[in-house]
Structure 1
Amino acid sequence: MNAELIINARNATGESPVWQPQENALYWVDIPAGRLHRWQLDGHFSYWTADEMLGCIARSPEGHWLGAQQSGIFKLTPQADGRLHAEKCAAVEHALPGMRFNDGRCDRQGRFWAGTLQTSMGAEQAGAMYRYEQGLDGAVPMLQAQLTGLTVPNGLAFSPDGRTMYLSDSHPNVQLIWAFDYDIDSGTPHNRRVFVDMNAHPGRPDGAAVDAEGCYWICAIDSGQVLRFTPEGKLDRALELPVKKPTMCAFGGPQLDTLFVTSIRPQGVDLRDQPLAGGVFALNPGVKGLPEPMVRG
């Protein structure tokens, strides 16, 4: 099952792929560049640049994007001049200097979740998960942490019925994936338990997606694989990539039967054994995914 390169994007840190069916397009970000990228099925490629690092995105029914950046949650609107117009929706007070948002997505009800980490990949448990809901008027609100004590929160995904939330911690000192019971009415996770101990598998847990059968796909960074786990936490299959650092996966294509994967292009290392690092790839996983929820208004 070969991985197809769809674009040699050379992203420093490609992340947060989201399939947009109305455009037959895949969107994703390059975090340190603050760029929102778009690749369409006809091969057309374009990008827009924000004023801050851009960790993750979610689509709004109104046509703009919601993005988690360094200083908060922003409404992002691509401009004809290649810039991303940003309007702050919510601010954040980080636990430590030098932090930013990283992985995130909407739950099945359209609440936007995003996690924070130290850009230095420090070992302090200063990371947190924040939940944002639109519809607040007046002054820009301050986000409140919903889960704390994390180092590099990642792997956020929700079961098909929305009642299980998955979350990982990518830091080498942790390397765990948890499952939570998720209250779909209040958007509250509880009853955290270990779903998969990635110390027993190749690579560290990074970004994830859930397929229509309820199985959890996780990018195993440093191993060049995407792993599929059943809802019981059993390893079901492993797909190989031509790069060592896959970052996040998403289902897309007209039938939602393609698994798109972003990746990292490491700086200052010999890349002769992985010249396509930083590219975006397409895999045929043999199962279909689910539409990515939009941000609810």
Structure 2
Amino acid sequence: MSCAIEHLRVDRLASVPEAGPYAVGESPVWHAAQDALYWVDITGKRIVRHVIETGRRTHWAIPEQVGCIAFDGAGSVLAAMESGLFAVQLYEPPAGALEAHASLQALASPRFRCQGMRFNDGRCDRQGRFLAGTMVMDMSLGLAAGELLRHDAAARTLVPVVDGLIVQNGLAWSPDGRTMYLSDSHPSRRLIWTFDYDVDAGVPHSRRVFADLNRYVGRPDGATVDEAGGYWICANDGAALLRFAPDGRLDRQIALPAAKPAMCAFGGKRLDTLYVTTIRPAGASAGEYDGHVLALHVGIGGIPEPVLGDCLPRTLPGDPIAGSGTAPGLDP
């Protein structure tokens, strides 16, 4: 069942210095202590920070494609990349510079089911455990070799909890953490599932279809949950945001000025701004909003993003390049 399409004011984040567009913007994470939004540019191999009040933009070059990130309470980053999970220390740039430096340490590597795979969408559950999915980078192959993996920090391993995925996406949890959402973005799937989630063990079970986007617009990409338990999903190739009520009813559809919204996250001082990263189509068809981060107010707030449990080393190897300062902090 469809609903009326809403046309809200949508702003594009403008930066100082001017930066972007980004080829594949993903994994927006709000950093309250810095009043900043972080995200990744997957194919650009970088992590990006945008300070809202000043518009100050910083890029950290990373040696592999980064699918998603999460912060711990000390300000270090866990990055899910092509070859595995890494602890990343982000250093401040010299005054006035756009580019900054990072130190990396390997944490765990998955047993990919075939060649040419990487991590895609991921985040922390409400208890601070990190989960992320894998995918074959060549989507045209349509291989269901992807898995959703949970990081076991003590054993430095990755534990499969869902298999048979083509393009894993849409990972999110209900406010109480007892329902897990997961989607598959591949054109042959376009499905969103829910699972009952064992909050003690970090194990999803009782999988069932929550929403079939073959009935709606676009493909289900990255997602978030609002304070009322509504599930917001980016309709990639559909230029829209969709909100599903906890019972699976589509109750809102918001038009966006970018064809390929990729993932959304609530941020701002009151968590009442919805930020949307986007993918820039190749060629002349790209518009002025494609590949940029969008901001809009949807009339409801979000939930603070959980921080990682104690799984990252307190210090990382490597000598920061001269001119780097301290890494950003995040309130625990």
Question: How high is the TM-score relative to the length of structure 2?
Answer: 0.86
Number of residues of Structure 1 aligned to a counterpart in Structure 2: 291
Partner residue, 1:150: 165
Separation of aligned partners in 1, 2:281 and 2:145: 24
Partner residue, 1:220: 235
Shift, 1:143, TM fit = 2.0
What does residue range 23-62 of structure 1 map to in structure 2 within 5 Å? Answer: 23-42=34-53, 43-62=55-74
Which has the larger displacement, 186-195 or 6-15?
6-15
The question of whether the paired residues in 2 share the 8 Å contact of 1:50 and 1:85 is answered with: no
The question of whether the paired residues in 2 share the 8 Å contact of 1:127 and 1:151 is answered with: yes
Partner residue, 1:115: 133
SS in 1 for 2:158: coil
Separation of aligned partners in 2, 1:108 and 1:227: 23
The question of whether the paired residues in 1 share the 8 Å contact of 2:151 and 2:157 is answered with: no
Partner residue, 2:116: 98
Task: Determine if the alignment matches structure 1 residue 159 to structure 2 residue 174.
Answer: yes
Q: Which amino acid aligns with 2:260?
A: K
Q: Which amino acid aligns with 1:83?
A: H
The question of whether the paired residues in 2 share the 8 Å contact of 1:156 and 1:168 is answered with: yes
SS in 2 for 1:182: strand
Percentage of pairs with the same residue: 49
SS in 2 for 1:55: strand
What does residue range 1-297 of structure 1 map to in structure 2 within 5 Å? Answer: 1-7=8-14, 9-42=20-53, 43-80=55-92, 82-121=100-139, 122-136=141-155, 141-271=156-286, 274-297=287-310
Separation of aligned partners in 2, 1:180 and 1:279: 32
Structure 1: where are the runs of 5+ without partners? none
Separation of aligned partners in 1, 2:197 and 2:142: 28
The question of whether the paired residues in 2 share the 8 Å contact of 1:61 and 1:295 is answered with: yes
**Bigger CA radius of gyration:** 2
Q: Which amino acid aligns with 1:285?
A: V
Structure 2: where are the runs of 5+ without partners? 1-7, 94-99, 311-332
The question of whether the paired residues in 1 share the 8 Å contact of 2:152 and 2:159 is answered with: no
Q: Deviations over 1:47-93 (max 9, x none)?
A: 10111100000011111100100111110111346232110111112
Q: Which amino acid aligns with 2:30?
A: W
Shift, 1:32, TM fit = 1.1
Which has the larger displacement, 201-210 or 145-154?
145-154
Shift, 1:144, TM fit = 2.8
Separation of aligned partners in 1, 2:171 and 2:106: 23
Which has the larger displacement, 178-187 or 93-102?
93-102
Separation of aligned partners in 2, 1:218 and 1:59: 22
Q: Which amino acid aligns with 2:300?
A: V
SS in 1 for 2:258: coil
The question of whether the paired residues in 1 share the 8 Å contact of 2:30 and 2:266 is answered with: yes
Shift, 1:40, TM fit = 0.7
Question: How high is the TM-score relative to the length of structure 1?
Answer: 0.95
Shift, 1:9, TM fit = 2.5
The question of whether the paired residues in 1 share the 8 Å contact of 2:165 and 2:184 is answered with: yes
SS in 2 for 1:199: helix
